[in-house]
């Protein structure tokens, strides 16, 4: 009984370590094969269009509403302390430091990450990846690498769009609807937002999130068993693991970047 329990725990631990090792080896192989993309930039551009462009609408709409809500909530709180002119600063800091990178990453995981996992998983189920291997074309280089880099490039760009549109949403509510002074809104923002400390750190976060989500999505699809149940399970795992990873990375990065 005890022996069986120990064997099962040991076997599970060994499988887990093996799968972590395999995922890092696949990542290293993909990074090693990535320079090949320079010879065929068309593959990357295609994926940028599919992964980045098709995520734009949900990012812009979400950014607008998040900015509007931030404008409303921010105004109610700041007004209590007679600091409603700082609304622009609050909206901008909230978006560039935290909400922009984190919400964009979560939306990206739901919109593009799931689609990447399902696509790769179904390609595997349809023997398309095996066919590619038999045609002497490495699927890691031909299929995974362009999607990975497209994700890594897209997430920071989408984050910038999210934050920019969010600020516009905050402006529409704060200045347009509530009547906060327009000059104060923009000048407080200009004076209080630091390019390196706030915008650049937000950019770094978005790059790290982009790497994590895209690789998790690709790996889940690549490792899925070629069955409908496992492809669907892999899609779910992409969202769950990516979301938890985003929160964990956000905490770690925030602690590193903004601690005195």
Partner 1 sequence: MDFPRGKVVAVMGGSGSGKTTVLRLIGGQISPQKGAVSVEDQIVHKLSTKDLYLLRRKMGMLFQHGALFTDLTVYENVAFPLREHTDLPEELIRDLVLIKLNAVGLRNAAKLKPGEISGGMARRVALARSIALDPQLIMYDEPFAGLDPISMGVTANLIRNLNDALGSTTILVSHDVKESFQIADYVYFLSQGKIVAHGTPADMMVSTDPYVKQFVHAESDGPVPFHYPGKSLAEDLGLGARK
Would you count residue 26 as binding partner 1 (CB under 8 A)? no
Stretch that binds partner 1, among 59-67, 87-95, 135-143, 165-173 (CB under 8 A): 135-143
Of 60, 61, 73, 133, the one binding partner 1 (CB under 8 A) is 133
Q: Binding partner 1 by CB under 8 A: which of 1, 2, 38, 134?
A: 134
Angstrom distance (rounded) from CA 71 to CA 65 = 10
Cβ-based nearer residue to partner 1, 138 or 243: 138
At its nearest, how many Å lie between partner 1 and the CB of residue 134? 4
By CB under 8 A, tell whether 34 contacts partner 1: no
Q: What are phi and psi of 7, to 5 degrees?
A: -60, -40
Q: Could you say whether residue 182 binds partner 1 (CB under 8 A)?
A: no
Residue 229 burial (10 A CB sphere; 0-12, 13-18, 19+): exposed
Q: Can residue 128 be called a binding residue for partner 1 (CB under 8 A)?
A: yes
In whole angstroms, the minimum distance from the beta carbon of 236 to partner 1 comes to 23
Beta carbon nearer to partner 1, 142 or 237? 142
Residue 238 CA to residue 109 CA, distance in Å, equals 7
Torsion angle in degrees (nearest 10) through CA of 252, 257, 259, 260:
160
Q: Quick one: which segment of 64-72, 131-139, 156-164, 167-175 binds partner 1 (CB under 8 A)?
A: 131-139
- Given 10, 22, 76, 127, the residue binding partner 1 (CB under 8 A): 127
Q: Pull the structure tokens for residue 242.
A: 């990516």
Least Å from the CB of residue 161 to partner 1: 26
Which member of 130, 190, 225, 236 binds partner 1 (CB under 8 A)?
130
Choose the binding region for partner 1 from 56-64, 101-109, 123-131, 252-260 (rule: CB under 8 A): 123-131
Which positions ≥6 away from 79 have C-beta within 8 Å? Answer: none
Residues of this chain that bind partner 1 (CB under 8 A): 123, 126-128, 130-131, 133-138, 142
């Amino acid at each position: 009984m005890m022996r069986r329990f120990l064997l099962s725990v040991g076997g599970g631990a060994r499988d887990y370590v093996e799968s972590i090792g395999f995922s890092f080896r696949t990542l290293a192989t993909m990074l090693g094969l990535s320079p090949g993309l320079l010879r065929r930039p068309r593959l990357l551009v295609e994926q940028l269009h599919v992964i980045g462009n098709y995520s734009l609408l949900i990012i812009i709409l979400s950014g607008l509403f998040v900015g509007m809500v931030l404008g409303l909530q921010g105004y109610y709180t700041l007004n209590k302390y007679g600091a409603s002119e700082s609304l622009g600063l609050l909206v901008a800091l909230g978006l560039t430091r935290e909400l922009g990178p984190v919400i964009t990453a979560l939306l990206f995981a739901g919109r593009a990450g799931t689609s990447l996992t399902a696509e790769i998983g179904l390609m595997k189920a349809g023997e398309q990846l095996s066919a590619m291997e038999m045609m002497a074309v490495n699927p890691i280089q031909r299929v995974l690498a362009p999607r990975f880099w497209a994700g890594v490039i897209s997430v920071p760009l989408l984050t910038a769009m999210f934050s920019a549109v969010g600020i516009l949403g905050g402006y529409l509510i704060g200045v347009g609807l509530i009547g906060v002074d327009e000059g104060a809104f923009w000048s407080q923002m200009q004076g209080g937002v630091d390019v390196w400390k706030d915008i650049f750190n937000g950019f770094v976060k978005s790059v790290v999130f982009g790497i994590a989500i895209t690789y998790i999505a690709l790996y889940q699809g690549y490792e899925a068993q070629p069955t409908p149940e496992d492809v669907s399970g892999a899609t779910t795992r992409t969202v769950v693991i990516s979301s938890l990873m985003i929160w964990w990375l956000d905490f770690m990065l925030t602690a590193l970047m903004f601690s005195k």
